[in-house]
Structure formats: structure tokens, C-alpha cells
Amino acid sequence: MNMHKDNMTNTKNTNLIDDSVISDPVMEEQIARGISDLLNNRAQHLKPELEQRLSAARNAAVNHLAEQQAQYSTANQVAGHGHVLRWFGHAGQNFEQHRVASTALIVVVMLLTFFAVQQFGSTHNLENSDAFLLASDLPPEAYADKGFDAWIESN
């Protein structure tokens, strides 16, 4: 009964507060304590239905936060598979999910690299191929003839 009286007094006091009082830091702190006490007192006497609703709202908020954290963690795991994919942002994440396409792309890149190296090698060795030896200023017999070597030395 006394507590109810206190609450009533607090309520009256709160109603009496004007802007000039709030601007005083000491008074502001006292008012804040009063509000806090009032809320605590009222919280002790909530109706069961209200407590149930508050509990459900709290659980919903916590579940929502947990879901958000799980999504963030999954996104980081995807990026962790290859930092290159992160450069593509969301497209990169989608790409990681398409593992077949990812594998195919890697194989295609490897093949292109292989053929590019082959092509470069063949162009580079073109002047050293047997065809160019045959078309050389001297016939192949001249390069292979031991007697020619000996004759040059003796002359």
C-alpha cells in the first residue's frame, strides 16, 4: 500500500517537472533515478499476459539477431574459399555456389594457358625447326658431313 503511495507521489512529482529543472544536472539525475525506480516497481507487478508478450517479443528479437549473425558468418565462409571471389561481391558468392561452373571455368582457363604456352613455344622455336634447317643457305649434308669439316681444317 505504501509502495503504491510512493508511486503516486513520484507520478505527481514527475508531472510537476518543467524544462528549467531538467537543465540542472543534479536534478536531472534525481529525476532519472525516480523514473528508473518507478519502472522497476511497476515491472514487479506486471500482469501474466503482459509478461508473456514481453517474453515473446524478447525471444523474437534474440532469434532475429542470431539469424543475422549466422548469415554474416556464412558470407564470410564463402569468401574464405577464395579471396578472388570476394572481388566479385555478391556475384562471387553466387558463383561459388555454382561449383560446376566454377570447375568448368578453371579447366577452361588452364586449357587456354596450356595452348597459349604451346603456341608461344612453337612460334619461338619456328626458326629452329627442321623445315628451316632444310631451307638454310647450306644443305643439311653440309652440316653433317665430317669430311667437309676436315677439309675446311686442312685448308
Partner 1 sequence: MDRIQLAFRWVLLSFLLVGVGVASADEANQTWGQLTESQRQVLNPLASEWDTLRPWQREKMLDIARDYPKMSPEKQGLVKKRLTNWSRMTPYERENARKRHQQFKALPDDKKRELRQKWNEYQKLPESERAKLRAESPETYGDSGIE
Q: Which residues bind partner 1 (CB under 8 A)?
A: 81, 99, 103, 106-107, 110-111, 114, 126-153, 155
Query: Positive or negative, the Cα torsion across 34, 37, 42, 43?
Result: positive
Q: CB-wise, 64 or 82, nearer to partner 1?
A: 82
Q: Which residues contact 81 (CB under 8 A, 6 or more apart)?
A: 96
* DSSP one-letter code for 137: S
List, in sequence order, the alpha helices (H) in 82-145: 83-86, 90-97, 99-124, 130-134, 140-144
Q: CB-wise, 9 or 122, nearer to partner 1?
A: 122
Q: CB-wise, 16 or 135, nearer to partner 1?
A: 135
**What minimum distance in Å lies between the beta carbon of 46 and partner 1?**
51
**What minimum distance in Å lies between the beta carbon of 145 and partner 1?**
7
